[in-house]
Amino acid sequence: MKSKRFLVVSLHDLHPGSLPQVREQVEVLGSLGVKSFSILAVPFFHQEKELARDEKTLAWLDERARAGDDIVLHGFFHDRHDRQGGSYFHTKVYTAGEAEFLDLPDSQVRERISQALVLWKERGWATDGFIAPGWLMPEVQDRILRGMGFQYTTRLRGFTRLKTSRFTASQSLCYSTRANWRRIASLGWNAWLGWRVRGCELARLSLHPNDFCHPRIRRQICRWVELTLAEGREPITYAKYAAL
């Protein structure tokens, strides 16, 4: 008997400015059979889009939470506005200055997460998961997440159950769309990676708001999701996977 296999679709960078794009992703992928999503929400995106002040976005997240989606804390500012230095690759090439938690002191990690959790508690959203912008946060700081009651975190190459420190290897499909060469490279890379992860217990697809703006990327995503579900994978949220 084959072991059960799962698919998590995570929708990154939800904030008031990205709500239309993320809603479209939910609608399109929902029509293909994905009914559960992990939605990565940013409390104060780039210090311009404050989630707590936008009732339309809050109401939509409330609706998705009631439907069983996982509302994941995804950093606080999602940028490095107050930090200099850091790895050039991670701060300029891999991200466009968005590696907020790459090198934050422990005290600031706790402060920003605690500030964000006020909203989560006000709305009654479960605080199961924290995922740093760009997945960039030192693994040694997982102890902070564990101490604050989170059940899981993820990085590009896998999923960690914080209570037991159990790591499940699973490289996420993810697209970079900031330039044409990045889009072309992403299509080739994910065509290979989508085939490579077929044998994994957990398959992951991480989308950003602009991904569906590019027709070739959109088609590849939808085709891969259709094939993945046809192979018998169960769509699930990170929170539900952590509880298995």
**If you average pLDDT over residues 195-208, what whole number do you get?**
96
- Cα separation, 129 vs 86, in Å, equals 25
**Tokens linked to 95:** 């991200």
**Tokens linked to 170:** 């699973």
Q: Please, which pLDDT band fits residue 93 given cuts at 50, 70 and 90?
A: low
Q: What is the CA radius of gyration of the chain?
A: 17
For 141-193, strand residue ranges (E) read 152-155, 158-161, 166-169, 173-174
pLDDT value for 46: 87
What pLDDT digit, counting tens, does each position of 46-56 carry? 888 899 999 99
**Tokens linked to 5:** 């296999």
**pLDDT above 90 (res 197):** yes
pLDDT, the chain, mean: 94
> How many Cα atoms are found within 13 Å in the side-chain-facing hemisphere of 135?
16
Q: Where are the alpha helices (DSSP H) in 136-244?
A: 142-147, 180-196, 215-230, 238-242
**pLDDT above 70 (res 91):** no
**CATH code for the domain of 76:** 3.20.20.370
Start-to-end Cα distance in the chain: 18
For 16, phi then psi, to 5°, come to -55, -35
Lowest mean pLDDT among 40-44, 81-85, 223-227: 81-85
- Cα separation, 38 vs 238, in Å, equals 6
For 216, phi then psi, to 5°, come to -65, -40
**pLDDT above 80 (res 94):** no
21 lies in some domain: yes
What pLDDT digit, counting tens, does each position of 23-38 carry? 999 999 999 999 999 9
Residue 70 sits in which domain range?
6-242
57 lies in some domain: yes
184 lies in some domain: yes
pLDDT value for 81: 75
224 lies in some domain: yes
For 134, phi then psi, to 5°, come to 70, 10
**If you average pLDDT over residues 119-148, what whole number do you get?**
97
1 lies in some domain: no
- Cα separation, 177 vs 184, in Å, equals 9
Question: Which residues lie across from 49 on neighbouring strands?
Answer: 45
97 lies in some domain: yes
Amino acid at 188: G
What pLDDT digit, counting tens, does each position of 1-25 carry? 357 999 999 999 999 999 999 999 9
What pLDDT digit, counting tens, does each position of 63-82 carry? 999 999 999 999 999 888 77
Closest by alpha carbon to 118, among 44, 26, 38, 178? 44
Q: How many domains does the chain have?
A: 1
Q: Please state, in angstroms and as integers, the Cα–Cα distance from residue 147 to each residue in 67, 114, 144, 208, following that order.
A: 28, 12, 5, 29
For 33, phi then psi, to 5°, come to 120, 0
pLDDT value for 89: 63
**pLDDT above 90 (res 84):** no
